Structure formats: structure tokens, C-alpha cells
Structure 1
Amino acid sequence: MKHRTLGRDGPTLHPVGIGAMSFSNFYGPTSEADSHAILDAARDAGVNHIDTSNIYGMGTSETVIGSYLAANRGALDHFFIATKGAIRRNPEGAGNIFDNSPAHLEAELDGSLKRLGVDAVDLYYVHRRDPAIPIEDVTGTLAEFVKQGKVKAIGFSEIAPTSLRRAHAVHPVAAVQSEYSLSTRAPELGLVQTCAELGVALVAFSPVGRSFLTDTPLTFEAAQTLPFLAGNPRFMQPNYDANIAAVGPFQALAAEMGLSAAGLAIAWVLAQGDHVLPIPGTRSVAHFAQLLEASDRRLSAADLRAIETVLPVGWAHGDRYSVPQWTGPERFC
């Protein structure tokens, strides 16, 4: 298995990480015991990259990870822990507020460190940009956290290539996190390339298309019980049925190649560059095993052509976000 470097001179990580949003009931009910079982399986498999955020379950995900680290000697030395700040709930109603002020970011970082039970995190992201504050100033705030020893490296989530260049000119950016999968290809229009040029890791969240790129996608009925998916265009009718039909040939192709659909989806993401690190989430140890199938699988040019044939660019029905969900991510194409 070829491990990957996070950033130009960063640590060596397993090619597949864990997206710990799933530890917070975002995609359905789970428990601390279930999440701890996944972390046990990760250690056994050599997976060492955990990605979380202060906003996942309003601290739940970080608390679950912190309780695991406290109960398992040596786990802290094994895991590379990334978390995020900058999103807070709107006290006056629905939606979120993006706050990149130094005071807010530091307060949220301190809260994350306390929940995780650590003195420093390996990587700290600004989860969403506050357009009122220049990204150069925000990068300076993050750089100060590095000087203080609270953060070892910095990153941004869902930013444009131009914003990355501006930030990287102030302080090295180790990683940019963005949704990237066979169903969401926008990062190929500049972000994948800019990250490679600058020596920045592209951390790909939702690499299995929020379950569409698996053998057992969430049912329409199940999706309607989850607030985010119930309002997501790809999980609304008639888009949902059209997407289920579209992934059928991909599931069949994966089976022909001796992989689960999730495994093949992850293999495709890994094939997009050695600087690309997928972080799928799961609530199931069995599903976690499928996500790791691709760790040693190198797709040939013929394999990639076959995948593109069954799922060509633009195959997905519906936008990846609704109008309210688009508030925050930077569009650049």
C-alpha cells in the first residue's frame, strides 16, 4: 500500500481516512460504541487520518473521538486528527453564521481541544469562509495558532483556487477539503490542479456520493428522515429515482472488477492524483471494510475508461446542494 503525504512536507497518511460526520447521527442513528468499533477497525487496518468538526452534532463527533483516545492507550500516537471551526448556529432562526474572527476561531479551537482531550490538533481548517474578512487575515489567525502550538498545520474547506493561492502566499496551507467524487466533478476545473501545483493535499469528502455510489444507497424513505438529505436536490423526486437507475451499471461494473461499488468509487478518487485523500464516512464496520478495498487497487487506463463510460461527467440528476445549502462554499466555475 502506498501511503500519501498531506501537504508538501507533511505527515504520511493511509490513502483512505475517516470522515467523522457520521459519528454524529447526520446520516442516521449511531452510538458511541458503533463509532468506537470503527476506530478500532481503523487502527487494525492502519488507517490513521480522522476528520471531524466542532459543528458535527454540536461537538458530539469530537466528544466521541475524545472518549476513544482517553480509553485507548497509544491511539493518540496512531491517529492524525483534523478538525474545523468557523460555523455557528444563527440564534435568530434557521441557517448558520460563518465567523472567521480571531476571537471566535480561537474560542472554537479551544473547545475542540477540550472535547478531543488533546493539547494540539494536527490540522485545523476554516470550515467556511466569512467573505467580510480577507482570507489573508484569516490565514494570519491560523498561523498564530501554529505559533502557539495549538495547531500543527492549517487548511480551508470549500474554497476556490484563487482563494487558496492568496492564503498560501501568507502561510503554507496543508490541505483544502472539498466534495469530490464521480458524482461531483467541479474540483477538476481548477482546484485539483492548483492543489497539485502548490503541494497542497486535496481532502475529498463524500467520495461515495452520500451513498449513491455504493451497493446499498439510502432508500428514498430513509433520506426523507434526514434533514440535510431531505432538502438536497439529488435526493428529491424525480431526481432520486433517476440517480438510482444511473448507478446500476456502475454497481455491475464494480462487481465484474471484484470490488464493491463503494470500493470502486474510492479507487477512482485515489486515481485522480497522489495528493488526493478521500475521507468517506460510515456507521458500519462492514461498510468500512468495503471502503478500504481500494487501498491497494491501482486502476488501469482501461478501468478508468470503463468507469467514465458508465458514469460520464455530468451524469448526476440534481445539483449537489440546494439554494440554502450553497450558502458558504465558494463557487469558482
Structure 2
Amino acid sequence: MTTIGTRKLSTTGPVVGALGLGAMGMSDMYGPADEDESIATVHAALDAGMNLIDTADFYGSGHNELLVSRALRGRRREDVVISVKFGSRKNPDGTFQPVPYDVSASAVRDRLAQSLRRLDTDYIDIYRPSRLNPAIPVEETVGALKDMQEAGYIRHIGLSEVGAENIRRAAAVATISDVQIEYSLLSRGPEEAILPTLRELGIGLTAYGVLSRGLLSGHWTLNREVATRDFRAALPRFNGENLAANLRLVEELGRIATELGATTSQVAIAWVAAQGTDIVPLVGARRRDRLEESLGAAELTLSPEVLARIEAAIPAGAAAGGRYMDQQLHLLDSER
């Protein structure tokens, strides 16, 4: 099993593995998953030094937190960094309720209490709103998080999909460990204002979607059947001519990977990691074989020449279609 190095989230945040594990797909969004295999994958990730586990209370309507709790039984709590998002709400059929997101001060306390119970822990390492609500000042949300931090229920405060202005406003209230945002060769938006703001303030970035929901994995094809309840079926980048255009970009990346003796996904992950030691890519592996492939990215060093070739093959803005549907993009503070 490959082992990985470490990185520090922000100037005051926790030390975590150079890659983190995104647990969402083990319970939600990408169709059925095998629970025993998911737990074995968490164990393999921890054994490789991937100690950052990212989850949310709405992934599988609580199922994901319970799964993570099961996977961590018998492990020393201090050896794991658990990151939890809250705020999004679901219906009994698994669909998301319409916005606005509930990130009020009372929601912070209520949802935190439920997550602590499901995770069977006394504290959460990083707790963050999944999205902001324009009707609720970020100061209210972060102020409530700071209260819970001072009470010992959370160790660090994070944010997710937040734009530069609200990052500054949040940082004026409390110390922010990191901002979680989609960042990949096909999603370069954070480079314009968000990443420079984070670096100015000494805040880390945890990058999700580093394989663009699987598009950059090298395993997606034009005729691939999407599983029931796999939300990628509705994403613009996975449909029609957009998909064909995006897979042509992936072919170029694959040619570079072959020359390096690596896989397409390894090069895509390594590219994100190469953008700065203040960035921790989250890998959404649901199986041990996919995890092992992703871990190989930690051993891959991309030279300036290779990075230039990758940039030429997939320049910023090359992706066909948005990363979410338009109505969802308009709700993201990070896209404003």
C-alpha cells in the first residue's frame, strides 16, 4: 500500500495527509455502493496516512456519518481528522429541499449535536456550512461556530463554496482553517479571486471534485450507463456534445499520463496538488482499487515542462458545460 506525506491546513489548522478522503459517494449521489467495501476503503486510506475524512450530515441523510463512525471503531480518535458539512436539507425520498440553506445560529447547534451523536465522538475536527444563505449574514453563522469551538465541540472552523468577500468577513470573526471548493483541471474558478484571498489570509484549501466527478479519471466513456440516482446524469458536463468535448480533453491528458507511466486520474490529482502545498485534494474513492490508484498521485512529481504541457492540453476555461446546472450555480456564493 502506498503511503503519503502531510500538509498543514492554514497557518493554525491541523496537519493532514497530502490527500484526503471524500466519503460522499459511499452513501449518496453516485448510485449504489457496497458498505463493507466502503468501510474497507476507509481503513485502507487511514493505513496509507490519509487521515482527513470528509463527510456531511446530509450525505445519505445521516447514513454517511454512521458509516464513518463504524469505520473508525477501534481507531484512535486523535489519529483521524473528521471534516463535516451542514446546512443542506433533504426530503424523505432523498431529494434536496429548495434553498435557502439553514445555516442560522440555532441550526449550527442543532445539526452539530446530531452529527456528534451519529459519529459517536465528543468533538468534530473541522465543522463548516455546506453553502451560505444570503439572508443570513456570514458573521452569524461563523459566530455560532466560534461559540461551539470555544465550548470544545469543534476544533476548527471551515467554509465551503464561499467567495472572496465572505471569506474576508468570516475571517474577521474567527480563525478559518480552510475553504472547501471544487477545483480541478476542468474547474479553475478559484484561481481568479478565491485562492489569492486564501493565501493572503493564510487559509488552506481542500479541493473536492479533483477528477471532475469522474470525467478526469480516464474511466468514463461516451456510452457509459449512469446508475439510478446518480446525479451526474443531470450535470451539463456529462451530457451530449459537452461530454464528447470534455472526453477529448481527457484523451490529451491520458497521452501525457502514458508517457509518465501513470494513469490519467493520477496526473489529474497530482496537478491539483502541484498548485500549492496549501491545497489538499480530496479523493472520492469508494473502492480500494480506486483508492490505491489515487494514492499513486502522491508519488508523482510533475516537472515544470509537464505542467506546461498539461496547461496547453486543458487550459483554464476549456471545459464544456458548467460544473452544476445553471440554477444551482446561481446559488453559490463562490460563483458570484
Which residue of structure 1 lines up, in the alignment, with residue 242 of structure 2?
239
Which residue of structure 2 lines up, in the alignment, with residue 201 of structure 1?
204
| CA deviation vs aligned residue, 1:161-186 (integer Å, no higher than 9, x gap) | 11101100111111101000000000
Which residue of structure 1 lines up, in the alignment, with residue 78 of structure 2?
77
Which residue of structure 2 lines up, in the alignment, with residue 299 of structure 1?
302
3-state SS of paired residue (2:60): coil
Q: 1:94 to 1:11 in 2, by over 3 A?
A: closer
Distance 2:205 2:176 in 1: 11
Distance 1:96 1:220 in 2: 33
Of residues 155-164 and 223-232 in structure 1, the stretch that sits farther from structure 2 once superposed is 223-232
The runs of at least 4 aligned residues of structure 1 exceeding 4 Å deviation read 90-94, 218-221
Mapped pair 1:287 → 2:296: no
Which residue identity does 1:56 align to in structure 2? Y
Q: 1:126 to 1:77 in 2, by over 3 A?
A: same
Distance apart, 1:31 and its partner CA: 2.3
Distance apart, 1:257 and its partner CA: 0.7
Distance 1:246 1:270 in 2: 20
TM-score by length of 2: 0.93
Distance 1:213 1:52 in 2: 22
8 Å contact from structure 2 (residues 116, 124) kept in 1: yes
Gaps of 5+ in 2: none
Q: How many residues align?
A: 331
Which residue identity does 2:187 align to in structure 1? T
Matches within 5 A, 1:185-264: 185-217=188-220, 220-223=223-226, 225-264=228-267
8 Å contact from structure 1 (residues 98, 328) kept in 2: no
Distance apart, 1:97 and its partner CA: 3.7
Pick aligned residue for 1:118 from 121, 134, 137: 121
Distance apart, 1:136 and its partner CA: 1.3
Which residue of structure 2 lines up, in the alignment, with residue 46 of structure 1?
49
Which residue of structure 2 lines up, in the alignment, with residue 328 of structure 1?
331
Mapped pair 1:17 → 2:12: no
3-state SS of paired residue (1:207): coil
Gaps of 5+ in 1: none
Pick aligned residue for 2:181 from 178, 183, 187: 178
Which residue of structure 2 lines up, in the alignment, with residue 62 of structure 1?
65
Pick aligned residue for 1:35 from 30, 38, 44: 38
Distance 1:19 1:231 in 2: 21
TM-score by length of 1: 0.94
Distance apart, 1:276 and its partner CA: 0.6
Of residues 180-189 and 231-240 in structure 1, the stretch that sits farther from structure 2 once superposed is 231-240
- Output the aligned Cα RMSD: 1.9
Of residues 92-101 and 149-158 in structure 1, the stretch that sits farther from structure 2 once superposed is 92-101
Distance apart, 1:319 and its partner CA: 1.0
Distance apart, 1:73 and its partner CA: 3.5
Distance 2:158 2:75 in 1: 28
Q: 1:206 to 1:93 in 2, by over 3 A?
A: closer
Of residues 24-33 and 61-70 in structure 1, the stretch that sits farther from structure 2 once superposed is 24-33
8 Å contact from structure 1 (residues 89, 97) kept in 2: no
Mapped pair 1:272 → 2:275: yes
Identity %: 36
| CA deviation vs aligned residue, 1:197-242 (integer Å, no higher than 9, x gap) | 1111111000011111112026554336344212111111121122
8 Å contact from structure 1 (residues 113, 121) kept in 2: yes
Distance 1:331 1:152 in 2: 24
Q: 1:306 to 1:135 in 2, by over 3 A?
A: same
Distance 1:78 1:328 in 2: 36
Matches within 5 A, 1:72-151: 72-74=74-76, 76-89=77-90, 95-151=98-154
Mapped pair 1:167 → 2:159: no
3-state SS of paired residue (1:292): helix
Q: 1:147 to 1:93 in 2, by over 3 A?
A: closer
3-state SS of paired residue (1:84): strand
8 Å contact from structure 1 (residues 220, 235) kept in 2: no
Distance apart, 1:9 and its partner CA: 1.8
Distance 1:303 1:251 in 2: 13
Distance 1:321 1:184 in 2: 11
Mapped pair 1:4 → 2:12: no
Distance 1:202 1:229 in 2: 24
Distance 1:179 1:308 in 2: 18
Distance apart, 1:90 and its partner CA: 6.3
Which residue identity does 1:89 align to in structure 2? K
8 Å contact from structure 2 (residues 84, 124) kept in 1: yes
Which residue identity does 2:271 align to in structure 1? W
Distance 2:65 2:231 in 1: 20
Mapped pair 1:26 → 2:29: yes
Mapped pair 1:154 → 2:157: yes
Mapped pair 1:312 → 2:315: yes
